[in-house]
Amino acid sequence: MALALMLTTVLALSWTPAAQAERIRELATFAGVRDNQLTGYGLVVGLDGSGDQTTQAPFTSQSLANMLSQLGVSIPEGTNLQLRNVAAVMVTADLPPFASSGQRLDIVVSSVANARSLRGGTLLMTPLKGANGDTYAMAQGNMLVGGAGAEAGGSSVQINQQASGRIPNGALVEQEVPLNLGANGGTLELQLDEADFGTAQRMVTAINNEFGRGVAYARNGGVIALDGPANDNARVSFMARVERVDVTPTRAPARVVINSRTGSVVMNNGVTLRKAAVAHGNLSIMIDSQFGVSQPNALGDGETTVVQDSDINIEQQEAYLQTVEGADLEKVVNALNELGATPQDLMSILEALKASGSLRAELEVI
């Protein structure tokens, strides 16, 4: 029953009608138009005794001492700062394309050491750097933590994670990422989200038909070159027009995805089964132990002992060869349901069907 319900759900989720036209902006992106990841190290202050234990995280007190020295506050050498309202954190953010100086970004703040909670804390000014080491934004603000917790009498309760949080609009862009589209004589590149020669060919045909001339050509299955105008304003209009072009992508290859940790099995609409015979059965071993007492004669020298009597039985459920075959997803699901296998057994059956050549699909285990 569990397998039947699961496969029926898979059928409902995986069934899709005939391929429909989609806009190019949903299938591809222009080269260079991308986010850039930023990272920074900083301090969160103002915690209610839930910060780092500096004896186990000495870099927190070192960072605070360095920050205070830059503000003109000197700390005597050898001073052991026992702070519980400060936490060392890592700050991350995504810098969107075309972000300009002064624009605000959302940031995520995560504890580095052993702080129990960042609730109520304030992030001090933290530089956010890119992969090249340059600073592109500065972060600062009050933490927004979704978790909650309480302690009393040695007992504690916690809901969700409290060692990380967000600061909406917590970073200010200081430097723009240079991006010059069409620098090579106005040539633009369109990158497909999933490389496919058939879809690339259809995109080229649709774009050229839209403009009435040959402005697009495929470099390979994942990149299409476009001859765009040299003027910036005209180039923006050209790119917007390209993104609005409708294209019908080619049918995705048949694929079965198995999650070995959860037992989930997902199939797309292209999966088929050639005729095959499958036998499915389970072997069970039952061990039953019973204890008795061995009592010697009244005049004997023996001792009373406990004797264990074990009864071992091996039972195997009956299994018969059953034919499985399906030319479409619905028939595949019905054929597999006839086996009455559990989700874990189904993974082994699908692997065996793939090895025998009956399963006409890519088998991916994650």
Q: What is the tens place of the pLDDT at every residue in 114-169?
A: 888 888 889 999 999 999 999 999 999 998 887 555 554 455 555 557 788 899 99
Distances (CA, A) of 152 to 2, 85, 118, 157: 43, 20, 19, 9
What's residue 283's pLDDT?
A: 44
Please report which confidence band the pLDDT of residue 12 belongs to, taking 50, 70 and 90 as the band edges: very low
**C-alpha closest to that of 93 among 119, 60, 128, 66:** 128
Same domain, 288 and 225: no
Inter-residue contact 24 to 242 (CB < 8 Å): yes
| Arithmetic mean of pLDDT over the chain | 77
Residues 191 and 240 in one domain: yes
Range of the domain at 219: 180-247
**Highest mean predicted confidence (pLDDT) among 44-48, 229-233, 265-269:** 44-48
Highest mean pLDDT among 134-148, 288-302, 314-328: 134-148
Lowest mean per-residue pLDDT among 88-97, 139-148, 318-327: 318-327
pLDDT of residue 304: 64
User: Comparing C-alpha atoms, which of 338, 364, 318 is closest to residue 276?
Assistant: 338
> In this structure, is residue 63 part of a structural domain?
yes
- How would residue 91 be classed by pLDDT, with cut points 50, 70 and 90? very high
For residue 272, being part of any structural domain is answered with yes
Residue 122 and residue 43 share a domain: yes
Helices 343-356, 2-14: inter-axial angle, 10-degree rounding: 60
DSSP state of 144: B
Domain-located, residue 26: no
Tell me the mean pLDDT in the region 254-261: 76
pLDDT tier for residue 257 given thresholds of 50, 70 and 90 = confident
Q: How far is CA 146 from CA 117, 121, 365, in A?
A: 11, 13, 34
pLDDT band at residue 6, thresholds of 50, 70 and 90?
Answer: very low
Domain edge (last residue) among 222, 247, 272: 247
The verdict on 315 and 200 lying in the same domain is: no
Q: How many domains does the chain have?
A: 3
